[in-house]
Structure 1
Amino acid sequence: MCVILNLLIMKKILFSTMALMAFGFMNAQENANVPITNNGFKQGDVFMTGSIGIGSESTGDNKTNSFNVKPKAAYFLTENIAVGAALGFMSGKTEVPLAPDVKTTEFSVGVFGRYYFTPGSTFSVFGELGVDYIHSKQEALTEDTSNAFRIGLAPGVNYFVSQHFALEATFGVLSYRTNNPSTDGVDNTDNFNLGLNFTDINLGLIYRF
């Protein structure tokens, strides 16, 4: 029941955001000949963005709760290209009857680059390529750690609602991750993901300085 409720809430937020951005796009098209002076990006701009996620899943008596946050900051090297850095933190706990709780924490640091197709407009589409280093720890009866590298490519959109604030949505499409466990005798794991699901959709808010 909780899973269904969470999916419905996520769908409502996603569709509402996309509807707002679509309205902004149509409005921008209607006013294409009107100079935009307040909204949009330009060379030399600095912005901060990020995402926060809270999840809860129940299957019978098994329960999983998670929390994640990933702030980002970037600088426009040119009119269309922005480069920046990102930090990340994830914490999760799985509760299973008659078994120890499984706690997972994950820290990440990375760099990313974006190409904006119409940076000076209120509405813009962009592509993002990012590389992250990830350190993970899992605690149950024993404690296991691992290190990983992740490469991800994702398209996104942003819509300025004021001179400094914009809504943002990114959609994960292509990613590759290689995981190196610290436990002796455990092989590395390579994961390639191509597709789109709710865990790959991130909604955020941009602040332009």
Structure 2
Amino acid sequence: MKKVFLFAALAVFGLSSINAGEGDEDNDAFTGGFSQGDYFVSGEIGYWSEKTGDNKNNIFHASPSVGYFLNDNIALSVGINYESDKDENGSFEDTMTTFGGRLSASYFFNPEKRFNPYIKGGVGFESTKYEQTGSDESKATGFRVRVAPGVNYHLSNCFSVYANLGGITYSTLNPDGDGDSTNEFHFDLGMKRLRFGARYQF
């Protein structure tokens, strides 16, 4: 079902770009997408929920940023990142809260069009707090590297919406005090890590 939904979403984006391209020939309202020297503010938000029996998992993610186009295709951005991952099973609750900052670079294909596929890569530093029912709070710090494909669609000359489709992620966390570091590698192009955002350029 997830794959069907993802295919449908991509199809809608594709058809929208085709229709927009045909309409642009007769409509001068859209004068172009991204170009060198553009500044922008953007933000991503995502929510995932999964339930198996009495076990529930809820993840919330938000990441605002500001950026600048070095040329028509390449943009740099800096931002902050917040994520809450909560597992519940009866009276037991396990919560992981992450806050940090990141530096990213994106390459946009067809920057002059309404529809722009892109590749985004970034590195971030983060602080994580763990809370478990019946246990003491613990903290860890580390960094994360992520590369993800995405699609962007211009609703107007200044405003666009976009979605990041999973990606490749490597992260390492070092606990405060004694303890071994945790290294993770993820490759995911499914719906669980689909993140939507909006961008305003000026």
Say yes or no: TM over 0.5: yes
Q: TM-score range, shorter-chain basis?
A: 0.7 to 0.9
CA shift for structure 1 position 118 = 1.6
Q: Which AA in structure 2 matches 1:117? A: F
Contact 2:48 / 2:192 at 8 angstroms: preserved in 1?
A: no
Aligned counterpart in structure 1 of residue 111 of structure 2, from 94, 99, 119: 119
CA shift for structure 1 position 161 = 1.5
Contact 1:39 / 1:162 at 8 angstroms: preserved in 2?
A: no
2:167 corresponds in structure 1 to: 173
Separation in structure 2 between the aligned mates of residue 73 and residue 104 of structure 1, nearest angstrom: 26
Separation in structure 1 between the aligned mates of residue 8 and residue 155 of structure 2, nearest angstrom: 14
Report the TM-score when normalising by structure 2: 0.85
Spell out, residue by residue over 1:106-161, the C-alpha distance to the aligned partner (whole angstroms, 9 max, x if none).
Answer: 10210001111221211112111100111100112111111121111112121111
Contact 1:117 / 1:124 at 8 angstroms: preserved in 2?
A: yes
Question: Identity of aligned pairs, percent?
Answer: 35
Spell out, residue by residue over 1:50-105, the C-alpha distance to the aligned partner (whole angstroms, 9 max, x if none).
Answer: 22122333222233333221112211111221101121111233322354x22221
1:22 corresponds in structure 2 to: 14
Residue 39 to residue 65, structure 1, CA distance change in 2 (3 Å): same
- Which is further off, 88-97 or 33-42? 33-42
Question: SS of the residue aligned with 2:71?
Answer: coil
Would you say 1:133 and 2:129 are equivalent positions? Answer: no
1:156 corresponds in structure 2 to: 150
Unpaired runs of 5+ residues, structure 2, are none
Aligned counterpart in structure 2 of residue 105 of structure 1, from 97, 109, 117: 97
CA shift for structure 1 position 196 = 1.9
CA RMSD of aligned residues (A): 2.6
Unpaired runs of 5+ residues, structure 1, are 1-6
CA shift for structure 1 position 30 = 4.4
Contact 1:145 / 1:183 at 8 angstroms: preserved in 2?
A: no
2:181 corresponds in structure 1 to: 188
